[in-house]
Amino acid sequence: MPIRRHILLAASVLALTGASASAVPLARVEGVEDPALNAAIARIVGEAPSHSDNRWRNRERARDAGEQIRRYLDSQGYFAALIDPRLDDDQRPLVRVRPGERFTISTLDIRFETPEGGAQPGEDILAAAALRTGQPMRAQDIIEAEAALTEALRNNGWPLARAGEHTFTADHLDASVTVEMRFVTGPFLRFGDPQLAGGLADLHEDYIAQIAPFRPGEPVSARQLNVYTQRLQALDSVALAEARLAPAEDDDSNVRAVDVRMEPTPRHRLQLSARYATTEGAGAEAEWARRNLMRRDQTLTLIGRVSELNTGGEARLVFPHWRRFAQTLELGGGVSLESTDAFDQDSVSARVSLSRPVTDQLFASAGVSGQVARITDATGQRTLNSVTFPLGLAYDDRDDVLDPRSGIGAELEIRPGLTFGDTQSQYVRAALGARTYFPISERMLIAVRGRVGGLFGVDAQSVPADLRFYAGGGGSVRGYGYQALSPRVIGVNTGELEPFGGRSLVETSVEARWRYSERLGFVGFVDGGVASATIEPDFDDMRFGIGAGVRYYPGFGPLRVDIAAPLNRRSGDAPVHIYISIGQAF
């Protein structure tokens, strides 16, 4: 006998019922020989809070369980199942089940109702259904096929497509089902040109068109429209954005322009920050930015910083989506006055870099950087001019930059360079760093960090001071002074050992982070590291610091206060150091 079924009927019975310590099965089930099917039915039947001695209540439980089983077996294609809810000899609820033969799809007929003379979907659209004759007639397969076909149509030129009436006819003589699915496609449409249709964002129309994920003439895709909106929304000079198909201008045309509406962010941005550590002292930074400088979302940023270690200024100009989507060109330059225990260096620098994503998580960059520096260190005063060619790879799939709980962040930089002036040399500087996170519970996680580096082909004294490797301090090994775990040489002017910087570096950190409440967290950590004068790290000189910290979460990222002490304290090492900053240590 032919029957019509709305396949969505059985979808709700797939949810599982939670168990408690005293819960019992709602009813005992007999007659199902297939172990997998029997286990699935047991889950669907669910549980009752406890046994009941009331016969009427037990009959009701048996009927409820039988109805659950019937719906589930229908959803799995057992249309001829016999289900008998009753009471057993102990007057407890019992359901006897004979599943019978599982029905399969014998005929599959998928049709598309298109406007007269309109394009017809091809085999690639049909393949999205992932249905075939001979497979079991499962409700979930039909639901997924309907969603997949509708999505395929909407992303391949039929943005107005919708599901029509479906018919399912079961033949009990051979346990088969004829599946007839209908879809109303609406007109086949192609993308036209993007056009500014509203808002105040002052961007060139050709730039807006450049970052579109489609080209005019391609079939309209709802997914591509969403991607376009996301790209526009991500522009630094755009606060709100939307991309949608424009109304039809000609009933006979299948080409639709794309209306782009945007609202701008404020043209200027000012940021202030401050930090303090007993090893590096106090520091403050001011950053002013001018957005959309030349109507292509360029951002000019001016930075001024004052600190005990580094005072100076920097300017950079960023060209996002330069010549192609997601490719960024950056120009920069600055003046820096550095004064540390290891060196004094006054420098002027300029750089240009180009970066682009390789995948959603992997980014590559290349550039050229030049610097003129006057250096005073343990070997005396020199002028070193350098040109380097940094090449970088960065991987980042962390869930949050300021307060990550999962994922991996890693970066590799290889920097060939040459130095001329008072010293001439050629070299390659390489550094690799990584950090990852292991959640232990909802409130606790373990964070791990490591970094290694090497300076190849040259002695440390033949390169600018900021290209050498140093260890110790807040961003390295907490508990020791800034650069205190670096190689030392006898100063030509003092005759005493002074920090100098090395050719290799090894650093490691482990943190246990406990989120006590929404606003407050605590951290315990161990850091270790050493910078060595040779290309092979001297692990015998590696030293460790231990400490604890407090994290306050105001909503944008944690405020960090750490206290650390050296485990391998040497003469001259302070017993305790304090670090105050924004964001997790790594």
464-to-321, 433, 527 alpha-carbon distances in Å: 33, 22, 27
Q: Across residues 29-33, what is the average pLDDT?
A: 92
Residue 17 above 60 pLDDT? no
Cα 44 from Cα 42, distance rounded (Å): 5
Q: Across residues 466-476, what is the average pLDDT?
A: 90
> Which of 176, 160, 159, 177 has the alpha carbon at shortest distance from 168?
177
Percent of the chain exceeding pLDDT 70 equals 95
Contact yes or no for 129/110 (Cβ under 8 A): yes
Instruction: Name the phi and psi angles at 123, rounded to 5.
Output: -65, -30
Residue 20 above 80 pLDDT? no
Q: Across residues 335-345, what is the average pLDDT?
A: 87
511-545 burial: b if 16+ Cβ within 10 Å, else e: bebebeeeeebebebbbbbbbbbeeebeeeebbbb
Q: Which of 75-89, 183-197, 374-388 has the lowest mean pLDDT?
A: 374-388
pLDDT at 250: 72
Q: Across residues 351-369, what is the average pLDDT?
A: 95
On average, the pLDDT of the chain sits at 90
Cα 547 from Cα 560, distance rounded (Å): 13
DSSP secondary structure of 124-154: HHHHTT---TTSB--HHHHHHHHHHHHHHHH
Q: pLDDT band at residue 186, thresholds of 50, 70 and 90?
A: very high
pLDDT at 2: 42
Q: pLDDT band at residue 14, thresholds of 50, 70 and 90?
A: very low
Which helix (H) or strand (E) element contains residue 243?
strand 238-245
Tokens of 456: 């190849």
Residue 488 above 90 pLDDT? no
pLDDT at 492: 67
Q: pLDDT band at residue 276, thresholds of 50, 70 and 90?
A: confident
pLDDT tens for 533-543 read 999 998 989 99
Residue 189 burial (CB count, 10 A)? 20
Residue 570 above 80 pLDDT? yes
Tokens of 207: 């730039």
Residue 342 above 90 pLDDT? no
Percent of the chain exceeding pLDDT 90 equals 71
Residue 13 above 80 pLDDT? no
pLDDT at 178: 96
Cα 471 from Cα 482, distance rounded (Å): 7
pLDDT at 168: 94
pLDDT at 463: 87
Cα 244 from Cα 358, distance rounded (Å): 28
Which helix (H) or strand (E) element contains residue 552?
strand 543-552
Q: Give Cα 439 distance to the centre of its chain.
A: 16
pLDDT tens for 135-164 read 999 999 999 999 999 999 999 999 999 999
pLDDT tens for 393-445 read 999 999 888 788 899 999 999 999 999 988 889 999 999 999 999 999 989 99
Q: Across residues 174-184, what is the average pLDDT?
A: 95
Cα 523 from Cα 93, distance rounded (Å): 55
End-to-end CA distance of the chain: 68
pLDDT at 572: 82
pLDDT at 16: 36
Residue 11 above 50 pLDDT? no
Cα 172 from Cα 24, distance rounded (Å): 36
pLDDT tens for 499-544 read 888 999 999 999 999 999 989 999 999 999 999 999 999 898 999 9
Residue 197 above 90 pLDDT? no
Residue 3 above 50 pLDDT? no
pLDDT at 164: 94
pLDDT tens for 47-71 read 888 888 899 999 999 999 999 999 9
Tokens of 95: 């359901």
Measured N-to-C along each axis, helices 139-154 and 55-75 cross at an angle, to the nearest 10 degrees, of: 40
Tokens of 81: 């199942």
Which of 243-252, 352-361, 464-473 is the most confident on average? Answer: 352-361
Q: Across residues 255-268, what is the average pLDDT?
A: 92
Length of the chain: 586
Tokens of 44: 């669907």
Cα 520 from Cα 246, distance rounded (Å): 50
Which helix (H) or strand (E) element contains residue 564?
strand 559-566
Residue 278 above 80 pLDDT? no
